Structure 1
């Protein structure tokens, strides 16, 4: 056995004796004190396994062999690091929760019958609903992108009405009308938008201020005439839905 191997064995034997002595002493303690020491016991057992398997240099072995209680010293050295470990553990828990909540929120808004999330980011944060806010914005982006990327082709194929119907079936009438209404309202000076479209779009408060426009990223660059026609079709859908709804004083058949 080489000198290095001897030193390594000496260190392991010393650490093993230290651990066994600690465990024997624990057996004489009250149950609650043993429970309170469980964390220290587990970590010292782990440290012992590290000392058994680690390929330490002669200089490193000398440093550790000079210690009367190497496990205790190494355990105390670990404690400040353990604080960071707990922080990482908390971050891991939060990351899991954020991921699951985000997945559920995105699944929720994939349903076209679910209305848009109306709150601002600050309101969502205060209520613990940031995952809903983000999932809603993601769905808004997919909705307006689907419109912008396909409306010209639908127009050329003379199937605007069919496209708008399909679009609302996928993303929901509420979302589609809200997003197109934003573009109309932002350009109420544009004569290519009809009076009816401008009047309808003006009914929605988009909370736009000189300092902040929360929906600027959802402005479609599709041709205003196409936007106007699609928006009028959305108004028509809404009007037809109201007409077909049973009156309150009439039983639904």
Structure 2
């Protein structure tokens, strides 16, 4: 287990350094380019955050470590998939607003059923 933690830490450090370099490069871009890169920055942050957890086996970690830029490779792969944040956002807002409306309706009913003082 100790070896896995060591290579996992190496991978996280490599990816973290890659993200720090990416952010430093953004700082030298004009504001329009920074705004255009906002999605990439956020997604790369999220990908990096995944690597704080223990979800890959040794072979996967070693394979990523062999890459020159594993974080960029993971981001590029994300761009190729069929998942969309918009579906997750839509579901989240739908669930939240449904619960909020239900809660407000219950509060309104409760207020109506309370005797006036």
Superposed pair shares fold, TM > 0.5: yes
Matches within 5 A, 1:212-251: none
Q: Does 1:84 align with 2:80?
A: no
- Matched pairs, number: 97
Give the Cα separation in 2 of the matches to 1:41 and 1:64.
20
**Which structure dedicates a bigger proportion of its chain to helix?**
2
| Cα distance between partner residues in 2 of 1:40 and 1:34 | 10
Correspondences of 1:1-253 after superposition (within 5 Å): 2-81=2-81, 83-86=82-85, 88-89=87-88, 92=91, 96=94
Mapped partners of 1:20, 1:2: distance in 2 = 26
Question: In 1, Cα distance between the equivalents of 2:35 and 2:89?
Answer: 23
Relative contact order higher in (CA < 8 Å, ≥ 6 apart): 2
* Deviation per residue, 1:5-47 (Å, 9 max, x gap): 1100110110010000000000000001001101110111111
CA RMSD of aligned residues (A): 2.6
TM-score normalised per structure 2: 0.71
Aligned CA distance change for structure 1 residues 59 and 29 (closer, same or farther; 3 Å): same
Deviation string 1:172-199 (CA, Å, 9 cap, x unpaired) is xxxxxxxxxxxxxxxxxxxxxxxxxxxx
> What SS does structure 1 have at the residue aligned with 2:28?
coil
Change over 3 Å in CA distance of 1:16–1:86 after alignment to 2 = closer
TM-score (norm 1): 0.34
How many angstroms does 1:56 deviate by?
2.1
Query: Structure 1 CA distance, aligned partners of 2:24 and 2:67?
Result: 21
After TM superposition, where is structure 1 displaced by more than 2 Å over at least 4 residues in a row? 86-93
Q: CA deviation at 1:80?
A: 2.6
